[in-house]
Structure 1
Amino acid sequence: MIISDWLKTATKSLKNIGISSARLDAELILANTLRKNRTYLHAYLDEEIDPRKFDIANARLDLRLDRVPIAYILGYKEFYGRRFTVSPSVLIPRPESEDLISLFLELTASEITEKTLIDVGTGSGCLGIIAKLERNNLSVILSDVSKPALKIAEKNADTLKADVTIQQQSLLNGQIRPVDYIFANLPYVDKDWDVSPELKYEPEIALFAEDEGLKLILELISQASRCLTSNGLLFIEADPCQHSRIIDTAIKNGFKEEKRLNYILALRLICTQNQI
């Protein structure tokens, strides 16, 4: 089969099950299988596909037809201009999480002294690693309760040459060293919400939380005021419908709302737990 025919057939199959990115997914699967870029496909539509690679492409297409996320099939996901290795051990980086980086860079633009950041529930490490690459004055800790996730984070840090510390812990439990910034892209999906079929392939531990999706976020807020330095910043990703409850809890724990951007909340510590 030639490239154009495979792409046409694959796209039709993906469209038939309601995948909106059908053509893009088909091109990504075939390009990755052929170890070429998508531009190559467009230039050589009449080229015959090697039989062995044809079988591999079809097997990968079958996975996508079963609604396995394209990032898991390819083994990577682009995030903030860099490529991150992913596996079913970690949540796939989302475009909305890039807003956390944008807001962080905006609010810390004037900082030139050495600062410390901990990325709690780091998963693939994408947030903490990008922060380190964008702000070289940062000392960054990538923290997660999951050992398999930390292995992926460490691999990404090595690949992208980000000098970070890997630390296994649950939320901020046991965190002794004070930090200036906290990133928290924790599970916030309520199990009663309607979710896409692809989510069943991602780790539940990284997606779902009790108490309307807020159990871990609220627990983290209660811990954060003892770990942050004065005027430290806490960045949280959550659904906008959850923001008001998060802010209420944050105020009770000595924070004020600094700014919000779509799914992202930036909270500034104005008094420690001892002062509340």
Structure 2
Amino acid sequence: MTIKEALTEAAKTLVSSDSCVLDSEVLLAFVLNKNRSYFRAWPDELLTTEKLDRFQQLVEQRQKGQPIAYLVGEREFWSRRFIVSKDVLIPRPDTELLIEITHETFATDQHFSVLDLGTGSGAIAITLALEFPNASVTALDNSQKALAIAEKNALQHKVHNIQFLRSDWFETVPNTRFDLIISNPPYICPNDPHLLEGDLRFEPSSALIAQHEGLQDLEHITSQAKSFLKHNGLILFEHGFQQGTLVKNLLELYGFKSTQHFQDIQGHVRATLGTKP
């Protein structure tokens, strides 16, 4: 079977996906270790039996709903490739908003300290460490498997201004004060129907779901964060698009001032910032 024939057949198999052609090309590019542009140049190249079998296996897994990122073992975030596994959330474009806000708040050559709570793949922390080379970044997670992925990503991107810590939120954080605490914590309500759709079905529930209408971890972090922030230190959350007012109220309840909302590319309030007075 040629490359063109294999891609055509795969796209038909994945017709229920909104991105069946792209999915097919990404999977075949992974199997062949080629860029997708290669398919335009060599559509009539014959696939070996081994490569075709591997490709068809991945297409079958994708048909069953397995996320592309888990099948190929990586996802792009802020124009960089990050290793992912089923032990971490898949980095999403919405989360890049946190990087944009940090760029609006700090100069790229500024010296400041960051604590990333629930780092997962390390995408946020490593991106900040690369974008702000004079920053000191601490990234923590309660999952040892997640930390192993984050450390692989840091090694892959040759990051030197970052340290990793296993901790249940602030539990084992040293007695240090930071300029910025940043977090994309679990914030989905346990009975949210979206958990039964798309990639969420396969991602670690511990990184997605929070009790008390999705606010438990947000409140836990907010209630303790001031003890780990410098004067005028900042706390920045990603949260659900309908939780903006609730998160703002939480921040103000625990004494944070100058709260600000930030919208994602769809115009939804997706992040909220507070300042320790």
- Alpha carbons 1:235, 1:264 under 8 Å: kept: yes
Deviation for aligned residue 1:95 = 0.5
Q: Does 1:236 align with 2:240?
A: no
Q: Residue 31 of structure 1 corresponds to which residue in structure 2? A: 29
Structure 1 segments of 4+ aligned residues over 2 angstroms from their partners = 109-112
Alignment map for 1:58-207 (pairs within 5 Å)? 58-109=56-107, 112=110, 114-163=111-160, 164-175=162-173, 176-195=175-194, 196-207=197-208
- Alpha carbons 2:109, 2:132 under 8 Å: kept: no
1:131-176 per-residue CA deviation (whole Å, 9 max, x = no partner) reads 0100011110110000000000000001101121010001122322
Distance between the aligned counterparts of 2:8 and 2:87, measured in 1? 32
Question: Which of 245, 260, 263 is the aligned partner of 2:262?
Answer: 260
Amino acid at match of 2:137: V
Distance between the aligned counterparts of 1:168 and 1:184, measured in 2? 15
Q: 1:126 to 1:97 in 2, by over 3 A?
A: same
Amino acid at match of 2:105: L
1:213-267 per-residue CA deviation (whole Å, 9 max, x = no partner) reads 1100111000111111011111101112111111111011121213423311121
Alignment map for 1:211-226 (pairs within 5 Å)? 211-226=212-227
- Alpha carbons 2:187, 2:240 under 8 Å: kept: yes
Distance between the aligned counterparts of 1:95 and 1:110, measured in 2? 21
Distance between the aligned counterparts of 2:53 and 2:109, measured in 1? 53
* TM-score (normalised: structure 2): 0.94
Q: Residue 51 of structure 1 corresponds to which residue in structure 2? A: 49
Q: Residue 3 of structure 1 corresponds to which residue in structure 2? A: 3
Distance between the aligned counterparts of 1:66 and 1:103, measured in 2? 37
Deviation for aligned residue 1:200 = 1.8
1:198-220 per-residue CA deviation (whole Å, 9 max, x = no partner) reads 21211111111111111001110
Q: 1:231 to 1:110 in 2, by over 3 A?
A: farther
Distance between the aligned counterparts of 1:137 and 1:55, measured in 2? 48
Distance between the aligned counterparts of 1:258 and 1:189, measured in 2? 21
Deviating more after overlay: 66-75 vs 191-200 = 191-200
Mind listing any 5+ residue stretches in structure 2 that lack a counterpart? 265-269
The number of equivalent residue pairs is: 267
- Alpha carbons 1:178, 1:229 under 8 Å: kept: yes
- Alpha carbons 1:80, 1:98 under 8 Å: kept: yes
Percent identity of paired positions between Structure 1 and Structure 2: 36
Deviation for aligned residue 1:187 = 0.7
Deviation for aligned residue 1:183 = 1.1
Distance between the aligned counterparts of 2:29 and 2:70, measured in 1? 15
Deviation for aligned residue 1:108 = 1.3
Distance between the aligned counterparts of 1:233 and 1:182, measured in 2? 6
Q: Residue 273 of structure 1 corresponds to which residue in structure 2? A: none
- Alpha carbons 1:188, 1:217 under 8 Å: kept: yes
Calculate the aligned-residue CA RMSD, in Å. 1.2
- Alpha carbons 1:93, 1:126 under 8 Å: kept: yes
